[in-house]
Amino acid sequence: MFGEHAGFIIPSYIISFCAISGMAIFIMAQYKSRKQELKRLEEAGVKRRASND
Sites of contact with another protein (CB under 8 A) = 2-6, 8-9, 11-13, 15-16, 19-20, 23-24, 27-28, 30-31, 34-35, 37-38, 41-42, 44, 46-53
| Shortest separation between residue 39's beta carbon and another protein, angstroms | 10
Distance, C-alpha 18 to centroid of its chain:
13
Q: Of 4, 2, 24, 28, whose CA–CA distance to 13 is shortest?
A: 2
| Shortest separation between residue 35's beta carbon and another protein, angstroms | 7
**CA-to-CA distance for 25 and 12, rounded, in angstroms?**
20
| Shortest separation between residue 10's beta carbon and another protein, angstroms | 9
